[in-house]
Amino acid sequence: MGIEEKLPSGVLLTTVEGVAGYMRKASFWPATFGLACCAIEMMTSGGPKYDLARFGMEVFRASPRQADLMIVAGRVSQKMAPVLRQIYDQMPDPKWVLAMGVCASSGGMFNNYAIVQGVDHVVPVDMYLPGCPPRPEMLIDAILKLHDQVQSAKLGANRIAQIETLETEALAAIPTSAMRGQLR
């Protein structure tokens, strides 16, 4: 017989991290950063057919100071990279980045001097969304997966320890260039 059975009905037990995570995930305010054809799919996801408002994302913010999720949709040129970084730096913490499309994720078919080969060279990316261009359903799925990450994120000193653990695991991982067909 646990404490849950001794409490009256209607009483909910949780942690501060749980409540904060729930509130953060339920109130994403995305910043628009549409650079190419993926931006059309991003705009479509906010329309009546797909309706991102169901997930707490009422409007896309034009000001980075009002946004906590940056969706980089499309290829990033070398000239645009400093602007992208400036907008990212102007966003308040906590902030997340979603790389939408193969061009934002890895440069796509544009393997030349003018295009950044992955937006992760400019800002830290939390979620990669493949496709050329990815469908609105895929964007919504990626946002829902990001919701799960945000809800389970720790706070304060626990967050610092979580980041250090994730960085240690990432540094210990085998680089993809060294895998050569291995499945892991």
Annotated binding site for [4Fe-4S] cluster: 37-38, 103, 132
Which segments of 59-155 does DSSP mark as H helices, in order? Answer: 81-90, 102-106, 136-151
132, 102 contact by CB (below 8 A): yes
Lookup: tokens for 175: 């680089």
Residue of 20, 19, 5, 28 lying closest to 147 (CA atoms):
28
99, 126 contact by CB (below 8 A): no
Please report the sign of the dihedral spanned by the C-alpha atoms of residue 5, residue 8, residue 13, residue 19: positive
Q: Regarding beta strands 30-34 and 69-73, do their DSSP bridges make them parallel or antiparallel, or are they unpaired?
A: parallel
Q: Who contacts 153 (Cβ-Cβ below 8 Å, separation ≥6)?
A: 17, 21, 24, 94, 159, 162
Q: Who contacts 32 (Cβ-Cβ below 8 Å, separation ≥6)?
A: 39, 42, 60, 61, 62, 71
- Binding-site positions: 37-38, 103, 132
Distance, in Å, from the CA atom of 36 to the CA atom of 39, rounded to the nearest integer, reads: 6
